[in-house]
Amino acid sequence: MPVSPPIITAAILAIGDELLSGRTKDKNIAYLAERLTECGIDLREVRIIPDMEQAIIAAINALRQSYHYVFTSGGIGPTHDDIMAESVAKAFGRLCLFDPRAEKILSAYYQAQKQELTAGRRLMTRMPEGAELIANTISGAPGFKIENCFIMAGVPQIFQAMVQEILPLLEKSAPVQTIIIPCPLGESRISKKLGEIQHAFPQIAIGSYPQICDKAGQRWRLEIVLRGRDHEALAQAAAAVKKMLADFEEET
Amino acid sequence: MPVSPPIITAAILAIGDELLSGRTKDKNIAYLAERLTECGIDLREVRIIPDMEQAIIAAINALRQSYHYVFTSGGIGPTHDDIMAESVAKAFGRLCLFDPRAEKILSAYYQAQKQELTAGRRLMTRMPEGAELIANTISGAPGFKIENCFIMAGVPQIFQAMVQEILPLLEKSAPVQTIIIPCPLGESRISKKLGEIQHAFPQIAIGSYPQICDKAGQRWRLEIVLRGRDHEALAQAAAAVKKMLADFEEET
């Protein structure tokens, strides 16, 4: 029997009081979730936590031991609430140091704008000892990678640019294929038969997602979503769902 | 010295493969985050996890022990992937039973539509023994509360209706007041002085949030956000920030 290749798993950790207060709507999680899905990397958990050192250390250490990759957003700017570099260094039990490669990048970046690498800007070159840089093509100040953790900026444009830098470096799994089947019937109507199909195809994840289409909550739309890496089983499961819907249609 | 009233804390747990795949953008977290902020409840953590029993049990048990309240969204429909009732019952070590009050509500709901409470629909009345109902004014099937956990639907309109039901029941803290100060200077420029102001006002959370305003990443906008329950300290900290900005302006 051939050994299945391992499925690469990931978590996202977004840092910021602003997200938790509801004032800022996160854009990074959905963006990275889509990219990971395209790469066949299974995003298994997302956490949003405040700018608090103990919370960051606990989350980093929990997630990096549970998943192949951890991607973070936020907390790497130059102000007092940017505590990711220090917190991640503590999580890994390493020193947090000014990084000469990052200083060189930022010096050149500001020189090109006829500005200086001030003490304030230099704060953005701090990172755990032994970290690798993640290039920032937008505003110079790099993110960093330490073991399986990728520490990136919270500003969406910079986060996205950093994600583009690291995607080629990631180990990938076979992409999950998705088949979406619109369903004219309510969830309760199909739940038993759909459960039987799920039981018959354990390697396929079958979900049903209702949406309300009007303000009164009277008109609903349902989609059945099938996901899997085994293309043959996926096609068979989708055929079974379509047959189920056709059978219901005949009944009525 | 007067004793400060306790600060009520909360976590949100959103369930769903759909959110993790990036296909569905979450609307519930931001909605509830804003409502909690209005009530003075500190949202301290958000987690998004898949429809997997072990993940749900672990997250429920971690969060309910760490925060005053846990609010969940998703996984309470009638299909095989709706495993919240069963998973939450297991997390609390309770039986998962058909609830007679929920059955009565759903019977009446469907009767009014000249429909029946089928076996499929009846699945939505299962919940942990001893749970209390959360009314669903949109589509009948209730959520439930067990100890400090509020288990609600994932469909945004229903989630929001359920949140409206439970908000009056929650213990609240003094609302956090927010002052937002637009800042014409870059973060690196103000980081030292802003850190000093933060140090002088430990009871106020001061954050600085840069946004990029153009595609090239050249034009930035910065907001300094101050948050706190001590109105006097908040006003003083805001005055200190404004003085800092005025001093910078004089310098240049």
Question: CA-to-CA distance for A167 and A39, rounded, in angstroms?
Answer: 8
Q: What is the mean pLDDT of residues B128-150?
A: 97
| Segment B77-124, tens digit of pLDDT | 999 989 999 999 999 999 999 999 999 999 999 999 898 898 889 999
| Chain B residues 215-234 with CB within 8 Å of chain A | 217, 225, 227
Q: State whether residue A7 sits within 8 Å of chain B by CB.
A: no
Question: CA-to-CA distance for B94 and B24, rounded, in angstroms?
Answer: 32
One-letter amino acid identity for A50?
P
Q: Which residues of A touch B121 (CB under 8 A)?
A: 188
Under 8 Å between Cβ of B251 and B241? no
Q: What is the mean pLDDT of residues B192-205?
A: 95
Q: Which residues of B touch A123 (CB under 8 A)?
A: 188, 191
Q: Which residues of A touch B139 (CB under 8 A)?
A: 212, 217
Q: Give the model's pLDDT for residue B214.
A: 77
- pLDDT interval class at B252 (50, 70, 90): low
B3 pLDDT above the threshold of 70: no
B216 pLDDT above the threshold of 70: no
Nearest to A41 by CA among A7, A4, A3: A7
Place of tokens 């009846």: B122
Strands B220-228 and B177-183: antiparallel
Name the stretches of chain A with pLDDT < 50: none
ipTM score assigned to the predicted complex? 0.92
| A57, containing H or E segment | helix A53-66
Chain mean position to CA B225:
20
Look up residue A60 and give its two tokens.
């980093």
Look up residue A137 and give its two tokens.
């093509």
Look up residue A23 and give its two tokens.
């004032």
Q: What is the mean pLDDT of residues B121-142?
A: 95
* pTM for this prediction: 0.93
Q: What is the mean pLDDT of residues B213-226?
A: 82
Nearest to A149 by CA among A68, A41, A95: A68
Domains of chain B from N-terminus onward: 9-169 (3.40.980.10), 177-251 (3.30.70.2860)
| A98, containing H or E segment | strand A96-98
Q: Give the model's pLDDT for residue B47.
A: 98
Q: Give the model's pLDDT for residue A3.
A: 62
Question: CA-to-CA distance for B208 and A123, rounded, in angstroms?
Answer: 15
Crossing angle of helices A84-91 and A53-66, in 10° steps, is: 50
Alpha-helix runs per DSSP H in chain B: 17-20, 28-39, 53-66, 84-91, 100-112, 119-122, 156-166, 187-200, 231-251
Q: State whether residue A187 sits within 8 Å of chain B by CB.
A: yes
- CA angle in degrees (0–180, nearest 5) for B134-B137-B141: 60
Q: State whether residue B175 sits within 8 Å of chain A by CB.
A: no
| Segment B27-85, tens digit of pLDDT | 999 999 999 999 999 999 999 999 999 999 999 999 999 999 999 999 999 999 899 99
Q: State whether residue A213 sits within 8 Å of chain B by CB.
A: no
Residue of A nearest to B117 (CA): A188
Q: What is the mean pLDDT of residues B176-196?
A: 92
Look up residue B225 and give its two tokens.
């956000």
Q: State whether residue A163 sits within 8 Å of chain B by CB.
A: no
- pLDDT interval class at B4 (50, 70, 90): low
Share of chain B above pLDDT 90, in %: 79
| Segment B144-164, tens digit of pLDDT | 999 999 999 999 999 999 999
Which of B37, B79, B211 faces A155 most closely, judged by CB atoms? Answer: B211
Residue of A nearest to B51 (CA): A207
Residue of A nearest to B41 (CA): A21
Q: Give the model's pLDDT for residue B2.
A: 56
Q: Give the model's pLDDT for residue B217.
A: 64
Place of tokens 């930035």: B220
| Segment A67-126, tens digit of pLDDT | 999 999 999 999 998 999 999 999 999 999 999 999 999 999 999 989 889 888 999 999
